[in-house]
Amino acid sequence: MRFNSWAAFFIPAGTTWEAATLSLSPSVYGNAPPSVIGLFDVDGGLQPFLNTFHPGTDVFADLGSGTQYAAATLYDSPATITLSGAALADINAVSGSYFVIGFTNQTLNAVAVEAGDQGIYLGGIRAEPYIELTLSTIPAVPEPGTYAMLLAGLAVAGVAARRRG
């Protein structure tokens, strides 16, 4: 797989995340067409990438395999991608540590090498690659008993106000 890359994000401990989006700005290198970029889990976490000079070919092959979190057609404009429930489960599983996500250019990896290494990249080529993970919690829906207590409280306040008037 020629067009693979990755990003790591520290996940704060103590919160159960219920939604995750990835905002990114792809880089176009050469005369490349729009491409489908797949987002995948990474088996070894951050540790294999800490040796930046010799992480091994197996590490880079893993970036485009395993559980797919999402896919999007990208070219030269920013995009926001909602990650799947499998991604959320993995994010919550690494709470207090690093979440690593792999990117692969599924369009260019499916064809023979032509015209060198031209393609759509996420990170590593631009001077300032932009990849941001946004995590959020969804406010809990109140229980029916909460609404009943609210209505009872409003009724008591209404009765008290009526007696004063």
pLDDT digits (tens, 9 = 90+) for 19-59: 999 988 887 777 778 888 889 998 878 887 776 666 667 77
158 lies in some domain:
no
Whether pLDDT at 116 is above 60: no
Nearest to 72 by CA among 27, 21, 107, 36: 36
Q: Does any domain span residue 154?
A: no
State which residues form the domain around 134: 4-138
Answer whether 34's CB lies under 8 Å from 147's CB: no
For residues 59 and 48, what is the distance between their CA atoms, to the nearest angstrom?
Answer: 7
Q: What is the DSSP string of 38-103?
A: EEEE-TTTTGGGSSSS---HHHHHHTTSSSEEEEEEESSS-EEEEPPHHHHHHHHHTTTSEEEEEE
Our count of domains for the chain comes to 1
Question: Residue 6 has which token pair?
Answer: 């990755």
- Which range among 121-125, 127-131, 154-158 has the greatest average pLDDT? 154-158
State the average pLDDT over residues 84-98: 94
Report if residue 148 sits inside a domain: no
Q: What is the DSSP letter of 141?
A: P
In a domain, 71, yes or no: yes
Distances, alpha carbon 57 to alpha carbons 1, 7, 47, 63, 125, in Å: 10, 17, 14, 10, 19
What average pLDDT does the segment 115-141 reach? 65
> What's the mean pLDDT in 139-154?
76
Contacts of 58 (CB under 8 A, 6+ apart): none
Confidence of residue 98 (pLDDT cuts 50, 70, 90): very high
Domain assignment present for residue 146? The answer is no
**pLDDT at position 1:** 43
More confident residue, 85 or 147: 85
- Answer whether residue 151 shows pLDDT above 50: yes
| Integer Cα distance of 141 and 39 in angstroms | 31
Q: State pTM to two decimals.
A: 0.72
Task: Tell me whether residue 150 is in a domain.
Answer: no
